[in-house]
Amino acid sequence: MPTPNFKRTKLACYAAYFTMSSIFSLPPILFVTLREMYGISYTLLGTLVLTNFFTQLTIDLIFTLFSKYFNVKKIVRVMPLITSLGLLLYALSPVLFPNHVYLGLLLGTVIFSVSAGLSEVLLSPVIAAIPSDNPQRDMSALHSLYAFGVFTVVVISTLFLKLFGSHNWQYLTVFMAALPIIAAVLFMLSPMPDMNVSASAGGTTSSRRKTVGLALCTACIFLGSCAENTMSNWISGYMENALHIDKAVGDILGMAMFAILLGIARISYARFGKNIMRVLMFGFISASLCYLTIGLTSNTIAAFIACIVTGFVTSMLWPGTLIMMEEKIPGVGVAAYALMASGGDLGASVAPQLMGIVIDRVTVSDYAARRAPETGLTPEQIGMQTGMLVTSLFPIIGIVLLLFIIRFFRKNNV
């Protein structure tokens, strides 16, 4: 029996991961537009981010615990169509729910977040199961495509909104909803490799020390995810409303460059990187400095650069923690990876939501009213700077935690 040709399958995975980036990058670009057109508060906009990652978290846990009850190959094939459905509902919210637009946005977010959760669980195993001369290169290419997908979405979205106006945001979203169909067609026409996605962690986490080590790694990926995803979700709105940079310039030179630096750093580590502990420590320290700079400086250029550089310094905090877990606790099973994904998704939901809450509350506070005349800033600018200062606590705590982790693994030799 001839060996199946999985080139198209691999291409389908890449296309699915690439188009999945619209789920995370398009809504933040539209935050200001949705606020201005429909009066949606920053807190509610942050809740959309929370819903996105909480839904993914739920899917991760459900699929890991009950994977044997699902037909994995069929789910992979329909996964991009779920993305399209969610984005389409997101775009049609003003039409389907004219008096409750936010309800439509929320439902659309839940649907495409289900697809994102499934993609996180299944695309890597598919790539890993495909025979390859260089599986590490293939896996690195898969995860790097997310960052370059973000760049593409930002450029297309920025040019569209600049040329046709933000009031036509729905047409842009419909266009993004059509792209995952390409991946769906490729999956339908491609063979699928056999995969082992059973929820088994083996006996590697049975000892108390390894269990504690895994818990520490989960806390580390939570803090790293907080540092990365707060900026990735708020950089567009921050540059436009806090720095008063033109939206097109802010999105292309800000959000897009954030994504490019994220992708470049991950590819660079895959080829040349070593000593993941030092890389993680560098990331946490540098992220702390970036957020403190943004929150404290009155210099627009310094804040602008710090926002962009955050993409580079936080790039390895999520995947780097996975590498640390693999090095220090070898032989972990799917359940351990699911726990790590849950920690990352939790951080990606909590931190951006906290940012929205801080902005809303500080903006209307007496503190902002008193500080505005003294600083020459608007209450909203003060609220956004305060949000960045609060976010700096996550990487600062990460520094302390990582020092403890280094000591723990050195002492226990696990």
Q: Which DSSP helix (H) or strand (E) runs through 131?
A: none
C-alpha span between 386 and 384 (Å, rounded)? 5
**364's tokens:** 């209307």
C-alpha span between 5 and 267 (Å, rounded)? 26
Residue stretches of the chain with pLDDT short of 70: 1-3, 64, 66-68, 134-140, 195-206, 273, 331-335, 413-414
Place of tokens 């403190």: 292
C-alpha span between 352 and 9 (Å, rounded)? 34
C-alpha span between 317 and 310 (Å, rounded)? 11
Q: Do domains 9-193 and 204-414 have the same CATH topology?
A: yes
CA 94 centroid distance within chain: 26
Question: What pLDDT is attached to residue 7?
Answer: 86
User: Cβ contacts of residue 136 below 8 Å, gap of 6+?
Assistant: 270
pLDDT in tens, 352-388: 889 989 998 999 899 999 988 888 888 999 999 999 9
Q: Which DSSP helix (H) or strand (E) runs through 296?
A: helix 276-296
**15's tokens:** 């296309």
Rounded (10°) angle between helices 7-38 and 135-164: 30
The closest of 27, 87, 17 to 229, measured between CA atoms, is 27
Question: What pLDDT is attached to residue 205?
Answer: 41
Q: Which DSSP helix (H) or strand (E) runs through 198?
A: none
C-alpha span between 317 and 228 (Å, rounded)? 8
User: Cβ contacts of residue 321 below 8 Å, gap of 6+?
Assistant: 217, 220, 221, 224, 280, 340
Q: What is the CATH number of domain 204-414?
A: 1.20.1250.20
Contact 185, 55 (CB under 8 A): no
Task: Name the H helices within 1-134.
Answer: 7-38, 42-65, 72-91, 93-96, 101-129
The closest of 185, 194, 196 to 12, measured between CA atoms, is 185
Contact 12, 183 (CB under 8 A): yes
C-alpha span between 400 and 391 (Å, rounded)? 15
Q: Does domain 9-193 have CATH number 1.10.10.10?
A: no
C-alpha span between 244 and 380 (Å, rounded)? 11
Q: Where are the domains of the chain?
A: 9-193, 204-414
Question: What pLDDT is attached to residue 200?
Answer: 46
What is the sign, positive or negative, of the torsion defined by CA atoms of 151, 170, 50, 350? positive
User: Cβ contacts of residue 165 below 8 Å, gap of 6+?
Assistant: none
The closest of 17, 14, 23, 13 to 229, measured between CA atoms, is 23
